[in-house]
Every structure is written in C-alpha cells, then in structure tokens.
Amino acid sequence: MLARDRCHQLEDRICFHLLAYTGMRHTEAGKLTSLDVNLQRGDIKVIGKGDRPRLVPIHPVLSEVLNAAPKYRHGRPNVVAGPRGGAGRYLMDQIAQRILDGLDHTMHHFHRTVATNLRRNGVQREDIDNILGWAPVSIRQRYHDVPQPEDAHAAILKLYANDPT
C-alpha cells in the first residue's frame, strides 16, 4: 500500500500532497496558513530554516487538491488546521505519522523523493536547491546564478513526469 492510498480524510490528502508535491519539510508545512498560499500566482510562501522565506511553485496536482478544499474556498486561515506554529505543526506531524504508519518511510522521504525525482527529470541543481530551500554553497550560486521564479515553476512541472504519483 502506498502512502497516498492511506489519505481518506481531506486533511490527510492536503498533508500528503503538500509534502509530496513541494518537498517542504513537515515543520515548514505545519506553519502554513492560507495567507501563504497564492493559488492565482501558483506559489506558496514558505518560511524555511533560519527563518529564510522562499516561494515554492504549486504543482498542478497540488493545486487541484487545494482548490477542492473548503478551507481555501471559504478563506479560512489555515492550510491544515491550527494557528501558525505549534498547533499546526503538531497536527501536521500527527497526520504524516498516520499516513506513514507501518510503512518503511519517514517524513524525510518526501523531501528526498522530490529532490531525486526533479534531478532525474533534468531539473538544474540551482532550481532544486531553490525549491527545497537548500542554501547556496558557492559564491557563484549565492550572487550570480540566482534562480528566477519562472525557472522554479517550469521545474515543478517536471516533478513525477516519468512516474505520475
């Protein structure tokens, strides 16, 4: 049984798709509110490690799930539930553990799977680093090869291109 097959509740589906289609860390996903999600522009404002903000493009499959969720259609404040920070993160952890219970996976597998799949589908390392919130390691990456939002949007469309989830 796959993790996605265990998503029977709406919150489970949102949690799974956030992790599987953005590569966000579960702690980052637990902090999200609906104010961070811009479905019209197609991105999510994520506050990553070191409180560094980044924009993560929304994959079309994730967009479908979010558009179907009443929490978005009615302007409710939270992506999964709970206020920004503690309660939302706690609930995200509970949901992810329920989805993964009995499987030989951890929440980090989502992050790794997104990175691996993007690389296998020809996405540039800089764009992968940008999407996943990895800090640049060289002066070139930091100051000269700054990925643009349109690069990340094009890159996210390659996610699972060879193996639709």
Q: What's 93's domain CATH number?
A: 1.10.443.10
* pTM: predicted TM-score of the whole model, two decimal places: 0.75
Please indicate, yes or no, if residue 39 is contained in any of the structural domains. yes
Q: How many domains does the chain have?
A: 1
* CA–CA gap between residue 82 and residue 157 (Å, rounded): 30
| Lookup result for tokens 């989502």 | 110
CA distance 96 to 105: 10
Residue 11 lies in a domain: yes
Domain that holds residue 10: 3-156
30 CB-near residues (< 8 Å, 6+ apart): 80, 82, 88, 89, 90, 91, 92, 93
DSSP 144: I
26 falls within a domain: yes
Per-residue pLDDT of the chain (165 residues; tens, 9 = 90+): 466 667 777 778 888 888 889 998 888 887 887 788 888 899 999 988 888 889 999 999 999 988 887 655 444 455 654 444 445 566 777 777 777 776 666 677 888 889 899 989 999 888 888 888 877 665 555 544 666 778 787 888 888 887 755
Residue 23 Cα distances to 73, 74, 76, 144, angstroms: 24, 26, 24, 25
